[in-house]
Amino acid sequence: MNQNAPQRALSASDIRARKGGDPLVCLTAYTTPVAQIADRHCDLVLVGDSVGMVLHGLPSTLEVTMEMMILHGRAVARGIDRALMVVDMPFASYEDSPAQAFRNAARLMAETGAGAVKLEGGRHMAETIRFLVERGIPVMAHIGLTPQAVNALGGYKVQGRGADAARILEDARAVAAAGAFSVVLEKVPAALADRITAALAIPTVGIGASAGCDGQILVIDDMLGLFDAFQPKFVKRYAHLAAEADTAVATYAQEVRARSFPAPAHVFADEGAGS
């Protein structure tokens, strides 16, 4: 853990109490060093199942396992003192029944130290959310574009346009009534996100939604520019680290081939001849 923690870790109740207050700052993290950086600036750090695509090169989140989430959850926990750590429940770990969801959510929290779990789905997941919350497991809901259902949705499309807005609004109301402490709104029209934010007593966290949401979240690798080829419309690049890393590696390769690295400053002299 970080040394000299400035204050206690935030809880799900703290996040819920921020409704209508200062916007919640949220990012994903999958490793200890990145978690340490995020913890200095964020209220909530999500160990997202996006780790499958970001770090493991998988084509979607569907192949992510409980073991992967636990491995990365433990790594992130070592870097967090202040932010609430939330861990995604991976595909097929909670959909079968509320009892299955409880077993896996309890395992995630016990083995990672997470303060909450996140699961995808609206009205059809309300019973499961209520079951978990009643048994002491804080739940962050996720509606709109739900990546684990990408095949059923027909791709990564905006959700809630036109007549479909009523469906998303009902999903939002259902997860809030079931006891979720906050809800992610992914890739929904801004006007709908604003309407949902006004209608709910719990914070909304937007990703491709609206600046009017109670908070925002991005995949940290996206906002740091670690991917060159793909940039979703809702992602702002705050850095371009992939280009910087490519330049650094190219320079290293050039110096190795020219035998200019390692230089005398980077090697060790014989014993008694100096450092």
Segment (H or E) for 218: strand 215-218
Catalytic: which of 111, 186, 244, 271? 186
Helices (H), 79-219: 98-112, 126-134, 150-153, 165-178, 190-199
| Residue 187 amino acid letter | K
Give pLDDT, residue 231: 75
Relative orientation angle of helices 126-134 and 165-178, to the nearest 10 degrees: 20
**Residue 118 among known ligand-binding residues:** yes
Q: Which residues contact 37 (CB under 8 A, 6 or more apart)?
A: none
Q: What is the pLDDT of residues 11-46, one digit of tens each?
A: 999 999 999 999 999 999 999 999 999 999 999 999
Share of the chain above pLDDT 90, in %: 89
Share of the chain above pLDDT 70, in %: 95
Q: Are the C-beta atoms of 173 and 199 separated by less than 8 Å?
A: yes
Instruction: Give mean pLDDT, residues 138-153.
Output: 94
pTM of the model: 0.94
**Residue 50 among known ligand-binding residues:** yes
Statement: residue 239 has pLDDT above 50: yes
Give pLDDT, residue 8: 77
Give pLDDT, residue 233: 87
**Residue 120 among known ligand-binding residues:** yes
Of the ranges 63-72, 188-197, 198-207, 264-273, which one carries the lowest mean pLDDT score? Answer: 264-273
**Residue 19 among known ligand-binding residues:** no
Note if 255 is an active site residue.
no
**Residue 49 among known ligand-binding residues:** yes
Q: What is the pLDDT of residues 63-121, one digit of tens each?
A: 999 999 999 999 999 999 999 999 999 999 999 999 999 999 999 999 999 999 999 99
Instruction: Give mean pLDDT, residues 45-65.
Output: 96
Query: Average pLDDT, whole number, for the chain?
Result: 94
Give pLDDT, residue 79: 98
Instruction: Give mean pLDDT, residues 225-237.
Output: 83
φ and ψ at residue 3, rounded to 5 degrees: -85, 150
Of the ranges 7-21, 41-55, 227-241, which one carries the lowest mean pLDDT score? Answer: 227-241
What are the structural domains of the chain? Answer: 12-238 (3.20.20.60)
Q: What is the pLDDT of residues 125-140, one digit of tens each?
A: 999 999 999 999 999 9
Task: Give the model's confidence band at 5: pLDDT under 50 very low, under 70 low, under 90 confident, else very high.
Answer: very low
Locate 213 and state its tokens: 């949401």
Locate 154 and state its tokens: 């027909």
- Taking the chain, what is the end-to-end CA distance rounded to the nearest angstrom? 33
Helices (H), 125-212: 126-134, 150-153, 165-178, 190-199
Q: Which of 164, 142, 126 is nearest to 208 (CA)?
A: 142
Locate 152 and state its tokens: 């059923």
Place of tokens 């995020």: 38
